[in-house]
Amino acid sequence: SSAEKDGHDWFMRKEIFEQPRAVADSLLGRRDASGRLQLDEMRLADEELRDIDKIIIIACGTSFYAGMVAKYAIEHWTRTPVEVELASEFRYRDPIIDATTLIVAISQSGETADTLQAIRHARSQRAKVLAICNTNGSSIPRESDAVIYTHAGPEIGVASTKGFLTQLVACYLLALYIAQVKGTRFGDEIDEIMEHLEAMPGHIETVLSGADAVYSLAADHASSRSVLFLGRHAGYPVALEGALKLKELAYLHAEGFAAGELKHGPIALVEDGLPVLCVVPPKGRDQLHGKMLSGIQEVRARGARTICLAEEGDTSIEPYADELIRLPKVPVLLQPLVAIVPLQLFACELATVLGHDVDQPRNLAKSVTVE
């Protein structure tokens, strides 16, 4: 009923709007009185973490994209090498793992068979397994050495939304915790990053207050046959996740690309009127922003209709954006937390306009318990 959905038409929409709260809950109680990070449920001793020389993240679908973001954050803040692997591929390639490898298994449901089999394989090779999971007592955390729960509350919609945002939070916390334990030079910045994280619920609220503009964009594009998503750096997994949402819910051909890869092939797909959603990185000291801008110019010159997600105050994007969605100003590594929200709203609305069942998309199950 609509009451269970807080007046929303779909559980998915309700869960999108719950994200500020979910992210806040996920951050709750993670610092002690002196401000140091503490991950209570974690159960891995600092010595064990210090010995880790490689991290392999395994997950499926949306959780895999959270893992891709985690790689950027963990490597940058801790200087520990990270691989991200689809759980269904992991054990078939005879991965190199031993007792100094930390496996991070990310799963909203905790019951995904591909991920469960992958951690069983990893443990048989003596690797330590840390689960990032939303479901207390589910199989994956039960079969892991340690767990960080995401505290998003039950996720009913088949399309993961608040599950994804809280997985990102858990990944950032893990990265910062490892930085704290290892004492890397980014250790000094932990406080600053935590403050940015603690401001996120407010920023997500700001993005949600612009939902109506995103809905009308979605309605404008309801007759599209194909939609592309572009991103770079932490915005690349956001592009992939935005595309997955549209496939799952609107049954549209949608693909995400790393913007720098366009010229190596995908730009051939661009034709007149093709909608391209572009996740623009914040302006920083690096070349990322400028490079993204030239990618956007390239697709636009070939007739694409560009829908750009760019931070507040970034005026350089205006000449190249047919449509502009503003994002709050946040550090590049944390930008996925705000950038994915309009893409969730876009997919939810487009599927609604097309008359699809958003909570129960065809051919899909909430937890995939077969390999």
138 binds ligand AGP (CB under 6 A): no
19 binds ligand AGP (CB under 6 A): no
Of the listed pieces 27-35, 157-165, 178-186, 287-295, which binds ligand AGP according to CB under 6 A? 157-165
The 225-254 contact track toward ligand AGP, x by CB under 6 A, reads: -----------------------x------
Separation between Cα atoms, residue 371 and residue 356, nearest integer Å: 27
Of the listed pieces 95-103, 145-153, 158-166, 352-360, which binds ligand AGP according to CB under 6 A? 158-166
159 binds ligand AGP (CB under 6 A): yes
* Nearer to ligand AGP (CB atom), residue 88 or residue 180: 88
CB of 153 to ligand AGP, least distance (A): 15
80 binds ligand AGP (CB under 6 A): no
Separation between Cα atoms, residue 224 and residue 307, nearest integer Å: 14
* Nearer to ligand AGP (CB atom), residue 110 or residue 281: 110
296-335 residues in contact with ligand AGP (CB under 6 A) are: none
* Nearer to ligand AGP (CB atom), residue 161 or residue 224: 161
Residues pairing with 278 in the sheet = 230, 308
Tell me, rounded to whole angstroms, the distance of Cα 146 from its chain centroid: 22
Q: Which residue has the tokens 């807080």?
A: 6
* Nearer to ligand AGP (CB atom), residue 26 or residue 109: 109
Applying CB under 6 A, which of residues 26, 55, 57, 62 lies at the interface with ligand AGP?
A: 62
* Nearer to ligand AGP (CB atom), residue 117 or residue 206: 117
CB of 367 to ligand AGP, least distance (A): 5
| Binding-residue total with ligand AGP (CB under 6 A) | 15
* Nearer to ligand AGP (CB atom), residue 158 or residue 217: 158
CB of 226 closer than 8 Å to CB of 274 = yes
Within 10 angstroms of residue 245's Cβ, the number of other Cβ atoms is 27
CB of 210 closer than 8 Å to CB of 343 = no
CB of 71 closer than 8 Å to CB of 65 = no
Of the listed pieces 30-38, 41-49, 156-164, 195-203, which binds ligand AGP according to CB under 6 A? 156-164
144 binds ligand AGP (CB under 6 A): no
The 96-135 contact track toward ligand AGP, x by CB under 6 A, reads: -----------xxx--x--x--------------------
Q: Residues in the site for ligand AGP, rule: CB under 6 A?
A: 60-63, 107-109, 112, 115, 158-160, 248, 367-368
